[in-house]
Amino acid sequence: MRHLTSLFDLTTAEVDEILKLANQLKIETKAGTRIAHCAGRVVVQVFEKPSLRTRVSFEAGISQLSGTSIFLSGKEAGLDGRETIEDISRVLGGYADIIILRTFSQQLIETVAQHAGCAVINALSDDYHPCQALTDVMTIQEHLGDITGKNIVYVGDGNNVAKSLAIACGHLKANITIAAPDGYWLSDDFVNRVQKEFSALQLTQTNNPQEAATNADVIYTDVWASMGQEAEKEKRAAEFADFQVNRELLDAANDDVLFMHCLPARRGLEVTEEAMDDSRSIIFNQAENRMHLAKGLMLWLLRQNEKS
Ligand code: CP
Ligand code: NVA
């Protein structure tokens, strides 16, 4: 049974297959074609944290493929202790073809994957956001073609989004630089794991965003305080003040630099209004691609699991 708990679950060839499928489905959608690739299939989404893009992109995506989506908050699903995670997993697995989970704990997603008997997708945990990173590389490829050797510069917290982007860069042979204040870099454990997995990956960490931006093909940022870190908002706003993406930072990069943000954005904090709306910003194309990628991913997983 195949899952997507993190991008470590996939081989590079499989990442390529998913991206290819997502691109094909995007072309079909844009042509106004609706093919019932997932007729009769059911996905159950269980989210412990809020979501606009992820929830709606999976729901819209499965509808376009003629499948059905059911949404439950974590509490409604019983993740607050109403019954065990193992029991919830087995029950949901009896109804669903895919369970899509947004949680705090990565371990919870892995436990559900072990017990559900159907595909499980990580729709964001404190550790990883693999669907976002697959979308990000799909979007960069749309603009730049082959991204081998391209310089992706992530300015901000070394969080779930940064980690998944780093693994995606490992798969696609792009270089990644993380520019973050001391104390907010990717952990040594993670760096060791990703470097072990992708020995050729050029991963650099620095606390100098201006220097990092030089030669950047992509500048990427995310919120300074992620969901669950609300109490640290003010402390982080002070610590990250020099790490804002603004027009000057974009100007320091390559002429055709792309600006990306997974959204939601806090305009005026990690990114200025000006940078969000700059002609170099591709944030809404990136957001739309969440749905095309979600479709490609669901279809790929269903096909894989039919074989097993
Ligand atoms: N980028 C992203 O995952 O957005 P949501 O939190 O709105 O799903
Ligand atoms: N790092 C952010 C991403 C939101 C899509 C968070 O976890 O809240």
Mutate to test the pocket of ligand 1, among 45, 54, 101, 288 (most ligand atoms within 8 A of CB): 54
Averaged pLDDT, 66-90: 98
Long-range pairs, 127-130, Cβ under 8 A, ≥24: 127/6, 127/160, 127/163, 128/5, 128/6, 128/7, 128/160, 128/163, 128/164, 129/160, 129/161, 129/164, 129/262, 130/4, 130/5, 130/6, 130/7, 130/9, 130/164, 130/167
Q: How confident is the model at residue 49 (pLDDT cuts 50, 70, 90)?
A: very high
Query: What's the CA-to-centroid distance between 161 and ligand 2, angstroms?
Result: 7
User: Domains of the chain by range and CATH?
Assistant: 7-129+287-307 (3.40.50.1370), 132-282 (3.40.50.1370)
Residues belonging to the active site = 102, 129, 132, 222, 262, 290
- Residue 178's pLDDT is 98
Distance CA 278, CA 7 (A): 30
Beta bridge partners of residue 221, listed in sequence order:
261
Q: How confident is the model at residue 224 (pLDDT cuts 50, 70, 90)?
A: very high
Task: State yes or no: pLDDT of 308 exceeds 80.
Answer: no
Distance CA 303, CA 210 (A): 45
Share of the chain above pLDDT 90, in %: 98
Amino acid at 187: S
CB 302 within 8 A of CB 27: no
CB 119 within 8 A of CB 1: yes
Mutate to test the pocket of ligand 2, among 262, 263, 266, 271 (most ligand atoms within 8 A of CB): 262
Q: Which ligand is nearest the CA of 293, by number? A: 1
Q: Which ligand is nearest the CA of 291, by number? A: 1
